[in-house]
Amino acid sequence: MVNKTLNYWGPSFEEDVININVGGLRRRLSSSALSKFPDTRLGRLLSCDSEESILQLCDDYDVSAREFYFDRNPGFFLYVLHFYQTGKLHVMEELCVFSFCQEIEYWGINEFFLDSCCSYRYHERKLESRHHNWDEESEVSSVDTSPDEISDINHDLLHYSTLRCGNLRKRLWLTMENPGYSIPSKLFSFVSISVVLVSIATMCIHSMPEYQEVDENGNVLDEPILHKLEYFCISWFTFEVSSRLLLSPNPRKFFKHPLNLIDIVSVLPFYFTLLVDVTMGSDSELGNLGKVVQVFRLMRIFRVLKLARHSTGLRSLGATLKHSYREVGILLLYLAVGVSVFSGVAYTAEKEEDVGFDTIPACWWWGTVSMTTVGYGDVVPVTVAGKLAASGCILGGILVVALPITIIFNKFSHFYRKQKALEAAVRNSGKKEPEEGGSDSEALSETSLDRPSPERRGLTPGAQPSP
């Protein structure tokens, strides 16, 4: 189809018409329409003065017939044609946002020419697509699911093949790590949750006076049954964290995982207080160190966080809070501004009434309680101006708290789906052995399918579009 006799554009090219053939779709365009957009691909054709410059812009051409061939999407070219006729570009709904970007970049059309009816939708879809990749915005997380993380999991599972009794250790690790892996893993998860609940119940019951015993010195002693339950729970927690450490495919990653750190923190206070009691005596004999020991004993409440290992919702909530620090920061900023403003107004209106609004810092407590819609009622305004300020504070608090809720909820839903996908990936990785051979032919077949052939473009080998 290439014509070796090159005819340059004449001085009156504005009155000429050229033929554009895009994937078999032929359309005629006036040179004057193309000259309005000289920076586009078709507009630059008018300034070509050699065969090489023309072939840099199109796939084939015939100058005598003024026809240029482009091996591109013919459906999208209709939108390009409409752009040259009207100067406005519209979004092709059938294309994803990235394919649309590639097409307009090929034709040299800036997204600035998008019509107002499509501009907002296009930029919204583009921004949404960028936000899909959560893993690029965060460090290693226990809930982020990406091909790289799934690949890391498979790599860790392959590490078992080099260990002694590797297959058994892998199955035991998956049983303890993924509650949905098998029936034994579900039973193990049920027992672990039950022990956590028993431990929390034991700590709560121990705080009740009717279940406390006092010795001759007035020191509070543990009730024998509760004491035995506490030792049983600690024994289980120790067994659990020790087993996970021994069976872990990567001990270094073990100590970086947040859930494993929670397991370690849940048992350390017990052994610390036990060590202090054995070496130094009871809390009453330790003075200030005894108070530190009591604080460590109160840290047993963190055992409730162990439930996150067995709850997809709790893990998703933790990831949501981690990745919503911007929204939470904006919320706290709004609250701080609102509390400061309304506290000053309430102080001005109520300072003469002696009802608790004596200073502005004292009003901060009232402002915080009112803006968060808690309303303890310990301090209330009595004047009309104070009540109006309180009404504005409450209404402002409702609006401020409601603003970021939708964003946080959407992130929670996203991470919940991610966590479900990761659990399924871990479960499937454990049930299917990695295939080491036979994948080359499949890869080659996939590659051949992805590569467009002349037949798939509507052309036969060696054939050329008819002029």
Residue type, 345: V
Whether residue 74 contacts residue 24, with contact meaning beta carbons closer than 8 Å, is answered with yes
Tens of pLDDT, residue by residue over 206-230, are 778 777 777 666 666 777 788 888 8
Q: Which of 177, 10, 39 is nearest to 107 (CA)?
A: 39
Q: Which of 112, 118, 65 is nearest to 90 (CA)?
A: 118
Q: How confident is the model at residue 455 (pLDDT cuts 50, 70, 90)?
A: very low
Average pLDDT, the chain: 75
Q: How confident is the model at residue 198 (pLDDT cuts 50, 70, 90)?
A: confident
Tens of pLDDT, residue by residue over 150-167, are 555 666 667 777 777 778
Tens of pLDDT, residue by residue over 223-257, are 778 888 888 888 988 898 888 888 887 778 788 87
Task: Give pLDDT, residue 458.
Answer: 38
Tens of pLDDT, residue by residue over 103-151, are 898 999 988 888 888 888 888 777 776 655 444 444 333 334 444 455 5
Q: Is the pLDDT score of 170 beyond 60?
A: yes
**In the β-sheet with 17-22, what is the strand arrangement from edge to edge?**
25-30, 17-22, 67-70, 60-62
Going from the C-alpha of 231 to that of each of 84, 207, 226, 228, 431, the distances in angstroms are: 80, 17, 9, 5, 36
Whether residue 199 contacts residue 230, with contact meaning beta carbons closer than 8 Å, is answered with yes
